[in-house]
Structure 1
């Protein structure tokens, strides 16, 4: 099997903590090029991984050796960089949220179709063992009709995680476009769509900036979501959880309650209506705490789709639908109305 040659565009935290280590652990790839507008960072990472350094991503895309790229830039660059990469004949793994509008997302999907190259969005929560098990239990009918759910994703904020700390692009509206809802909320809209196996029909939301003085984007959001079949629930996304990260989801069904990532030891607890409780130790979720160096399986899935010419695990269309729920939440907060999808 030929070694797949990879370029990484954007060498901030997500590249350093997820993409580069996971490429390094995959025997079928070699990172041959890295790019960052901060020249010093580009050189440092290039030296560390034995790749060529670039400060202009278009020059990286002109490198004929590069077959696929990870797009790890600030949010506002996701679509333009991904589209340029696809048009240059490269497969693309793009960080979430995939774009800042439905139109941008659609243009990315079109570029993928026209170029015949793969486009995958890095929604890693689909690959968490507890989440996959919960989806399976629901599909098997073990939970019965789903009545309700609540999901949260919150931590102390990007300053503890981003390569630029308090000066991070995450806080700047012109670069991030959206705050906690884009950083964390979109993970959960994608996860809920995946686990429940259906689309959302209506969204209501309150989106505020209450915790971060240096931010012109949201840092705390609470959404009410209704699926096409009428299941209702809540999603909270926040950068104002000052202690331990919360990444839990609870699903209330007719026959059982599923508690996902809600217990420090058992990543899935199933509480049946009969009183029986089943606990699964399936290995934790990736976290930004303690270095968070566990394998998210995103890179392996992306590489597999290219080498075996398979549909990516999270294709552009899926990324777009998950983004549209977040865009609807923003619209709801601004208009003070329930938004139909």
Structure 2
């Protein structure tokens, strides 16, 4: 059983991490968040310590080490712009890291992390859960076996957000990285992983609520569109009461993978704990791409 701490415990994605820790048979011993209403903890780890600042977390980690009960991993679910700070905190305190996407906003920070890994002897893993999605794994195999050298792809991802979004850190480009980083990075990583390195990325349109472009990969041309605007949803979504629409069309064939997202964090943790997680270099391609989108 591994001992975990978690930073950013009140965030939306944190519950997936907490559940993954539980479902892999490990223990969350401390959770940290500046927001202090944490009733969700009672369903998973009611005995876990709770702290509201980095200073208190460091004190907990140091005391645990002195008692021979060191924390093995720190899971990071804090806002994007704080990831680099919290990764450094974890490594300096002798913990391996599991960090939610994006690992960092700026690609130059990836080299800092690699240096910190060497200095600490610890590893930093990131969450690239689409690489474990059964449909995506099947697609990768089909592409590799197709014998084709090049593909044409249409990517659309529309996930409508309310007015709260632009009053939060997510609506601040300097804190979130912008729309491509916030909602597009998993899709860009998946396409990069299957169709090869980025050759060119041309931005056609970019405002706070939506962006589009033409992406040239080694084996594919991708026309992509990302939006937070409800008005961009197609009727097939709105008529069924949905506020999210995903579509990837490859050479005229639509790839359906709307389901199966929620369990992939547990699969991610299983692979990391088994020594096969995705690290810094695995994240580089999509971070460099979204940084310039």
Equivalent position to 1:98, from 88, 94, 103: 103
Alignment match, 2:189: 190
Higher helix share: 2
- Go from structure 1 to structure 2 and tell me whether the alpha carbon gap of 1:166 and 1:80 turns closer, same or farther (over 3 Å shift): same
Structure 1 residue aligned with 2:90? 85
Judging changes above 3 Å, is the alpha-carbon distance between structure 1 residues 239 and 134 closer, same or farther for their aligned structure 2 residues?
same
Aligned positions of 1:162-201 closer than 5 A: 167-176=167-176, 178-196=177-195, 198-201=196-199
- Structure 1 pair 249–143 and aligned structure 2 pair: CA distance change class (3 A): farther
Q: How big is the shift at 1:104?
A: 1.5
The residue correspondences of 1:250-289 to structure 2 (distance < 5 A) are: 250-252=249-251, 258-261=253-256, 267=257, 284-286=259-261
Q: SS of the counterpart of 1:326? A: helix
Counterpart residue number, 2:49: 52
Structure 2 counterpart of 1:146, from 143, 150, 159? 150
Q: 1:232 to 1:183 in 2, by over 3 A?
A: same
Q: Find 1:321's aligned residue among 262, 285, 289.
A: 285
The aligned counterpart of 1:233 is: 222
Match of 1:219 among 192, 196, 209: 209
Secondary structure at the counterpart of residue 151 of structure 2: strand
Residue 133 of structure 1: how far off its partner (Å): 0.4
How far apart are residue 321 of structure 1 and its match? 1.5
Structure 2 vs 1, CA of residues 171 and 109 (structure 1 numbering), >3 Å: closer, same or farther? same
Gaps of 5+ in 2: none
SS state of the match for residue 37, structure 2? helix
Equivalences for residues 7-86 of structure 1 within 5 A: 7-11=5-9, 12-16=11-15, 18-27=16-25, 29-41=26-38, 44-48=39-43, 49-50=45-46, 51-62=48-59, 63=61, 64=65, 65-86=70-91
Residue 259 (structure 2) pairs with residue 295 (structure 1):
no
Contact 1:106 1:320 in 2 (8 A): no
**Closer, same or farther: CA 106–129 of 1 in aligned 2, 3 Å:** same
TM-score by length of structure 1 reads: 0.73
CA contact (8 A) 1:76 1:100 kept: yes
Q: Check conservation: 1:248, 1:259, Cα contact below 8 A.
A: yes
Count matched residues.
Answer: 272
The 2-side partners of 1:35 and 1:73 are apart by: 9
- SS at 1:100's partner residue? coil
Q: CA deviation at 1:147?
A: 2.4
Contact 1:33/1:46 (<8 A) preserved: no
